[in-house]
Structure 1
Amino acid sequence: MMSIYHALGLHMHQPPDNLKLIFDTQNWEAIQIIKCYERVARYAHAYMDVARLHIGFSGILLEQFMDPKVVDRYRNIVDLPRMIEAYRAAKNIEFIGMGYFHPIFPLIPMEDWEEQIRLCTDLINEVFGRRPKGFWPPEMAFSMEMIPIIKKCGYKYVIVDGVHVFPEGKMDIYMPYIASFNGEEIFIIPRDRDLSNAQESGLDPYWFKNEVLHKVTNSPHPNLPRLVTTWTDGENGGWFRNMDEEAGFFGHFFSPYMEGVRRGTMGIEPISISEFLEKYRPKERAEVRTGAWNVGSTSGFDLTLWAGTPAQKMALEEIYQVCWRYFELKRAYPKKRELLQRARRLILASETSCYLFWGDAWLPRIYECLNEASRILDQIKN
């Protein structure tokens, strides 16, 4: 009999100040989005016995949840402090780390990697009372060079898009692997892109069950424990934002799926990735090609969605220039701590992936951050 496990993940992010902005300018969209965040914890508690969820929040989104102005704006829609406490109490949620400002790690200065990761990791621990063990690279943009820093920050595994994984043996996305770089190793969890596309756009548990059984049966190692990993945004698209819960992700798919698990009729067991790794420690090795996940019509086989235009490349070059200047001044004027910290936050904020993703409309936000950071750095010499 096949042992099939399912790791279900949801990724959550909003760029700096966006919850306030959309509340004031696109109120109906703001209501839809904030209800997405509330729904997850509620359904986790409703199926505490069988549900296992992996939830990743960017640090800047968590920061907005705790902003008194945001709390006040959304008070009549969702009680945000109560929502946070519900997440904290949901022991069947495994929290996932990422970069604080949701950067495309392979595109930003390596000198910024550790701080982006540690800031997010520490805030997750502070807010939810447990340190994340798994790491989600924003936009699934991963390169092997990231492994030593991710490992240094205390992570045990990284989720990557399965299309970028190249094992030493046969290609099999239903098992974890070991990946290494410069002598540092970490576990790699391949995401099933096809099933994740279905999770993103709409599915029912019976289709999911049949599709998983078909895929696993035809996988290279059907008799080994199978880990099927699906991961999507948790607040984007009409499927997740649908205010009629019975027609959306949780009412139409998740709830009947969990009921089937309770009855023992699904043949699939929800599991946390950490638990799976404890039960079935990976032995096979793999390389991971630099790439990202598929967004819209893009393949994710390169990073041109965020760095393909001359304007995007110029903005990234400016990030590097201001970052290098920051480190030079930090070495020369270490006592100017308050000014350095203010400039540093602006530099890290400029690396927000959304500013690159939305093209010319949002690129000015990068320069707003960097221009203010440069103005502060000018003061350090005075």
Structure 2
Amino acid sequence: MSTFLFGIHCHQPVDNFDHAVLEAIERSYFPVFDVLSRHEKFRFSVHFSGWLLEKIAADVPHLFALMQTMSARNQIEWLGGGYYEPILASISSADRRGQIEKLSDLIEKLFGRRPRGIWLTERVWSDEILSDLAACGIEYTLVDDYHFHRVGFTPRECEGYYLSECGGDTVKIFPIHKDLRYRLPFSPHEDAINAIESMDTAICFDDGEKFGLWPHTHEWVYDQGWLDAFVTQLCNRDRITTMRFGDYIDSNTALGLAYLPNVSYYEMGNWSYGTKRALQADSALKILSGHMNPDEAQSVLGGGIWKNFLVKYPEANHIHKRMLRLSKHIGAIRDETYREWVYKAQTNDVFWHGVFGGIYLPNLRDNAYRYIIEAQSILSRHTGFRGEVEDFDLDGYAEVSLCDPTLHMVFSTRNGGMIVELDRMERGFNLQNTLTRRREFYHSALCAMHENQEHAEGIQTIHHAHHVLTPEASDALHFDFYRRGSFVDHFCAQETDLSAFYRCGYTEYGDFANGVFEIVSARSDQARFERRGHVDGTAVRLDKNYRLEKDALEVTLQIDSPPREGLMYVCELNLHFANLSDIRIRSQEISIDTAGASFDSDSELTICDPYLKETIRIGWNCKHTLWIHPVMSVSQSEGGIDLMAQGIMIAFAFVYEDALKLECAIRWERGAE
């Protein structure tokens, strides 16, 4: 006899677009429950992110009614987890317990029983979470069989569950079979059922979205009847019984003791690598796979860890560390609204990138910063917070933050003394929420082929899909050598034009753009930095002074040394807007398109933002050349290749002959002209 343990995990990023959530419900969540409700003998387990489950209970009565019916007749078992789907190992112990208890409370309220197991977000295992699971009354969780293979367990030894412990606290862990994850629902249903029947205990728990929302799956799973045929034939097999995970624990003993490494699934580990190491790992895997099974080769080779995304993407790390600092005040603030904002900021999607958009999606970053800014506003009201000097992002150098009721700014001393966060507090929006263009491991592997490439049988998973690199995306493949903040200092040849500057296809003669600046002074409304660096081998001192006022920022830049003949100074700003296509640039009536704009100017630059209902005015004390260009990134997602506007580059080029003193004033005014 074979036992089949099946489960689906359903998640949407917190406060995702309404149309995206509706599409997931219509194409995946409702139809999968609708089909499975007709097969009462088919027992399985379910996990929904807390906010999504709550939304369905309130707004989607036809789906919620199915959930209640199937729960009442014991066809499904509900799993808990972090309410807002955090990576549990990336947040504090108190927050882990708080998020788990919040979702357990909701499930008990809606379905009358508390969950015994939890879905582990992205299957990121770390021993540090085990005691918190035990404290919340959680009996079991699931990871990939890859976790077990990494420490020597064979596939046959992964047909059941194991006990693990940390400091005397115990939890039961099921290994999810990768082969079944890749078969369901992509291979013909007969092949999937035969694979299940070949095991004593077959375990598959994976994304519910692949049953209808992933590319081509709705047609395959429902229109062509894959799911109904699969469940019908499975239930008719005398040698296969379906069971919920909790029921399996009640009727089967553990296979033994297991201690697992700090990993996620193999692909996630590879995505967390920097480009060079990811390509090296791919080459090494191909070599090893010539001598052993590819899955065995993966477990021998190993991979990266999830937290390395916070090293790979400083923008993700900035959000993460801002969240952690706010989290430390939950106990002192004792404000439930504050706690909710912090918990929402812990949602995992924005912190990583692989086959899904993740950190590359501006709306996910916008949401994360909205939660952070709302929490920051409450903290400031409770504590009178006006700024600090602290290395909160753990890059080895102190950041300086300035804050008043209208603006909150963070300056990075490690990265050119530039602005890396620029919050409009009343609007809950970070205008500095840009993204540096990086070379990703898949850029070198992108190939132009037809999207409807024939597959042997069934359909392809998103992990095996081949995407088309359009000419527009190919032209946008440019990579930055510095972080895209504001008030970035460049020294380049006077003949440098907008195209070369935007593509980073010019020679940088200074060491200021990503050089370390020293803090000269810092107080609640002012921060001053300096760097004694070099321009084309000549010693140069650059002094930056930022002064914060209500709805305004004044900046003074002092360059003490004359330039080498033929060079110019360029001060670069990179700003992010919610809807870039709606932005209106009023300087000489120049409109923004992908070609950018370049012209000489001695007038004030105005930027009208209908989303924030504000006008930004940027003025300088001397004539300059102005360069404006959308910052476009090329990334992959489950839907293909995304060419995405991350913000807008605004660069001011100054030709000077002696020491240079520049004064810049930025003002925010209510109303978009």
Q: Which amino acid aligns with 1:44?
A: L
Q: In 2, distance between residues paired with 1:185 and 1:264?
A: 36
- Among 199, 204, 220, which residue is 2:188 paired with? 204
Partner of 2:256: 284
Partner of 1:43: 35
- Among 5, 18, 23, which residue is 1:22 paired with? 18
Once the two structures are TM-superposed, the CA of residue 43 in structure 1 deviates from its matched residue by 2.7
Once the two structures are TM-superposed, the CA of residue 292 in structure 1 deviates from its matched residue by 1.9
Q: Does 1:322 align with 2:326?
A: yes
Instruction: Answer yes or no: is the 8 Å Cα contact 1:5–1:270 preserved in 2.
Output: yes
Instruction: Answer yes or no: is the 8 Å Cα contact 1:88–1:129 preserved in 2.
Output: no
Partner of 2:205: 231
Secondary structure at 2:184 match in 1: helix
Q: In 2, distance between residues paired with 1:87 and 1:128?
A: 10
Secondary structure at 1:79 match in 2: helix
Q: Which amino acid aligns with 2:317?
A: K
Q: In 2, distance between residues paired with 1:124 and 1:15?
A: 19
Partner of 1:129: 112
Once the two structures are TM-superposed, the CA of residue 178 in structure 1 deviates from its matched residue by 0.5
Q: Does 1:33 align with 2:25?
A: yes
Superposition pairs of residues 85-234 of structure 1, within 5 angstroms = 85-165=68-148, 170-171=153-154, 172-199=157-184, 202-213=186-197, 216=199, 226-234=200-208
Partner of 1:62: 53
Instruction: Answer yes or no: is the 8 Å Cα contact 1:355–1:365 preserved in 2.
Output: no
Instruction: Answer yes or no: is the 8 Å Cα contact 2:193–2:234 preserved in 1.
Output: no
Q: In 2, distance between residues paired with 1:153 and 1:40?
A: 30
Instruction: Answer yes or no: is the 8 Å Cα contact 2:163–2:172 preserved in 1.
Output: yes
Q: Does 1:10 align with 2:13?
A: no
Once the two structures are TM-superposed, the CA of residue 246 in structure 1 deviates from its matched residue by 3.6
Instruction: Answer yes or no: is the 8 Å Cα contact 1:97–1:136 preserved in 2.
Output: yes
More helix by share: 1
Once the two structures are TM-superposed, the CA of residue 89 in structure 1 deviates from its matched residue by 3.3
- Among 303, 306, 321, which residue is 1:303 paired with? 306
Instruction: Answer yes or no: is the 8 Å Cα contact 2:46–2:77 preserved in 1.
Output: yes
- Structure 2: unaligned runs, 5 residues or longer: 272-297, 353-357, 385-673
Once the two structures are TM-superposed, the CA of residue 87 in structure 1 deviates from its matched residue by 4.2
Once the two structures are TM-superposed, the CA of residue 32 in structure 1 deviates from its matched residue by 4.9
Once the two structures are TM-superposed, the CA of residue 95 in structure 1 deviates from its matched residue by 0.9
Instruction: Answer yes or no: is the 8 Å Cα contact 1:234–1:240 preserved in 2.
Output: no
Partner of 1:271: 243
Q: Which amino acid aligns with 2:306?
A: L
Deviation track 1:40-70 (CA, whole Å, cap 9, x = no partner) reads 3323321112x01111011111122234xxx
After superposition, the Cα gap between the structure-2 partners of 1:60 and 1:368, relative to the gap in structure 1 and judged at 3 Å, is: same
Instruction: Answer yes or no: is the 8 Å Cα contact 1:323–1:347 preserved in 2.
Output: yes
Q: In 2, distance between residues paired with 1:85 and 1:209?
A: 28
Once the two structures are TM-superposed, the CA of residue 295 in structure 1 deviates from its matched residue by 5.4
Once the two structures are TM-superposed, the CA of residue 82 in structure 1 deviates from its matched residue by 3.0
Larger CA deviation: 104-113 vs 167-176: 167-176
Partner of 2:523: none
Instruction: Answer yes or no: is the 8 Å Cα contact 1:168–1:285 preserved in 2.
Output: no
Q: In 1, distance between residues paired with 2:247 and 2:30?
A: 26
Could you state the TM-score of these two structures normalised by the residue count of structure 2?
0.47
Q: Which amino acid aligns with 1:38?
A: F
After superposition, the Cα gap between the structure-2 partners of 1:306 and 1:101, relative to the gap in structure 1 and judged at 3 Å, is: farther
Secondary structure at 1:270 match in 2: strand
- Structure 1: unaligned runs, 5 residues or longer: 217-225, 331-336
Partner of 1:53: 44
Instruction: Answer yes or no: is the 8 Å Cα contact 1:166–1:289 preserved in 2.
Output: no
After superposition, the Cα gap between the structure-2 partners of 1:170 and 1:373, relative to the gap in structure 1 and judged at 3 Å, is: closer
Superposition pairs of residues 235-246 of structure 1, within 5 angstroms = 235=209, 236-238=213-215, 240-242=217-219, 245-246=222-223
Secondary structure at 1:269 match in 2: strand
Q: In 2, distance between residues paired with 1:170 and 1:375?
A: 50
Secondary structure at 2:187 match in 1: coil
Secondary structure at 1:286 match in 2: coil
Q: In 2, distance between residues paired with 1:279 and 1:64?
A: 35
Partner of 1:223: none
Instruction: Answer yes or no: is the 8 Å Cα contact 1:164–1:288 preserved in 2.
Output: yes
Q: In 2, distance between residues paired with 1:257 and 1:241?
A: 15
When the two structures are aligned, how many residues end up with a matched partner?
Answer: 340
Once the two structures are TM-superposed, the CA of residue 182 in structure 1 deviates from its matched residue by 0.7
Instruction: Answer yes or no: is the 8 Å Cα contact 1:32–1:241 preserved in 2.
Output: no
Instruction: Answer yes or no: is the 8 Å Cα contact 2:15–2:367 preserved in 1.
Output: no
Q: Does 1:255 align with 2:228?
A: yes
Q: Which amino acid aligns with 2:203?
A: T
Deviation track 1:213-258 (CA, whole Å, cap 9, x = no partner) reads 55x4xxxxxxxxx3211121112413554487143xxx31x32233
Q: Which amino acid aligns with 1:79?
A: H
Q: Which has the larger radius of gyration?
A: 2
Once the two structures are TM-superposed, the CA of residue 350 in structure 1 deviates from its matched residue by 0.2
Once the two structures are TM-superposed, the CA of residue 187 in structure 1 deviates from its matched residue by 0.8
Q: In 2, distance between residues paired with 1:246 and 1:90?
A: 28
Which of the pair has the greater relative contact order for Cα pairs under 8 Å at 6+ separation? 1
Once the two structures are TM-superposed, the CA of residue 355 in structure 1 deviates from its matched residue by 2.1
Q: Which amino acid aligns with 2:262?
A: T
Instruction: Answer yes or no: is the 8 Å Cα contact 2:43–2:76 preserved in 1.
Output: yes
Once the two structures are TM-superposed, the CA of residue 90 in structure 1 deviates from its matched residue by 4.5
After superposition, the Cα gap between the structure-2 partners of 1:207 and 1:244, relative to the gap in structure 1 and judged at 3 Å, is: closer
Instruction: Answer yes or no: is the 8 Å Cα contact 1:312–1:356 preserved in 2.
Output: yes
Q: In 2, distance between residues paired with 1:11 and 1:137?
A: 10
Q: In 2, distance between residues paired with 1:6 and 1:270?
A: 5
Secondary structure at 1:238 match in 2: coil
Q: In 1, distance between residues paired with 2:28 and 2:118?
A: 22
Q: In 2, distance between residues paired with 1:359 and 1:316?
A: 12
Instruction: Answer yes or no: is the 8 Å Cα contact 1:174–1:229 preserved in 2.
Output: yes
Instruction: Answer yes or no: is the 8 Å Cα contact 2:147–2:265 preserved in 1.
Output: no
Secondary structure at 2:86 match in 1: coil
- Among 50, 63, 82, which residue is 2:65 paired with? 82
Once the two structures are TM-superposed, the CA of residue 110 in structure 1 deviates from its matched residue by 2.4
Q: In 2, distance between residues paired with 1:322 and 1:142?
A: 24
CA RMSD of superposed structures (Å): 2.6
Instruction: Answer yes or no: is the 8 Å Cα contact 2:116–2:137 preserved in 1.
Output: yes
Q: Which amino acid aligns with 1:129?
A: G
Q: In 2, distance between residues paired with 1:368 and 1:262?
A: 48
Could you state the TM-score of these two structures normalised by the residue count of structure 1?
0.80
After superposition, the Cα gap between the structure-2 partners of 1:244 and 1:203, relative to the gap in structure 1 and judged at 3 Å, is: closer
Instruction: Answer yes or no: is the 8 Å Cα contact 1:168–1:284 preserved in 2.
Output: no
Instruction: Answer yes or no: is the 8 Å Cα contact 1:148–1:185 preserved in 2.
Output: yes
Once the two structures are TM-superposed, the CA of residue 212 in structure 1 deviates from its matched residue by 3.6
Instruction: Answer yes or no: is the 8 Å Cα contact 1:174–1:228 preserved in 2.
Output: yes
Instruction: Answer yes or no: is the 8 Å Cα contact 1:6–1:227 preserved in 2.
Output: yes
